Structure 1
């Protein structure tokens, strides 16, 4: 049975449109990955949904692919399809934001501080202090939770120990009581008939 050919036009149903977008996007990224693997090509894809959500794929790094495109002239910035043009401003903006975030992260680690002035260093110092205070607070909360857990465990162990002592004391008391009872029952009282027999024998001699 042959697959029915779908007419290429905008899907009016919003739900069906979102489902189709999700399926086609995954298929597009899969084909891009296969093309990159088979042909050793550097590929960068960016897709914006109708709601403005960004989806992307890159064989290495979006920034690296964009940087390779930078030195090219305006004539070579067009893709193979004449009706599709490369949105250089969007890529340039995203590339710059990514570079800024990477540099900011490195500066928070204490790297690449040479080009900063005093005011920028003070701002960076304040950010590190705030971050450190949050880390210390989170660590203190975790330590307190562990201490409280150990205290609860210690209380449970003490109660269990007391219970075992009580059980042991009750067992010892029952053992002593049983022993005294057995001793009283096995001791024979003096017999009167023995003494009478002795007196009778002495009288008859």
Structure 2
């Protein structure tokens, strides 16, 4: 079945417009990628949706491609005064940066759970995916930090045990040299000794008969 030709006018239905935008956008970016690979061309594509969301593709570096375009644009409009060209360039860059800042602020608010009423289902899924990925990265970093701290404590414990053993050895050598006749009691033997005591419980002045 042959598809009919699509009339080039704005799609009034919001859902159909969003679906068409997603399909055409993906097709455009795919064609740009194919053109850059097949023809070894430097390609850059920038798309803003009706909601102000940015989509882009660059075969190398977007900033380098924009700088190259700006250089060629200056050469094309060399008849203009240098000051006028500079002002227009700065205005263009300022507007672009302001737009990017606005998009980043909007995205930041959405990540904080604010302004979600205007989000589409696709955008909410994307936000959820990014949050889950960020949470996973935080957990991995936290686990790595805990393991690092445990390793430091274990190393500190080994050093303390080593120092303790050295101190015991020095004390033993000192006693052998300065007091060889002294008998150093064994700690374990002392703990195992039974001490006999006489214990009487009663009023003062009385004694067990």
Provide TM-score, normalisation by structure 2: 0.43
| Structure with a larger share of its residues in helix | 1
- Between structure 1 and structure 2, the one with the greater Rg is 1
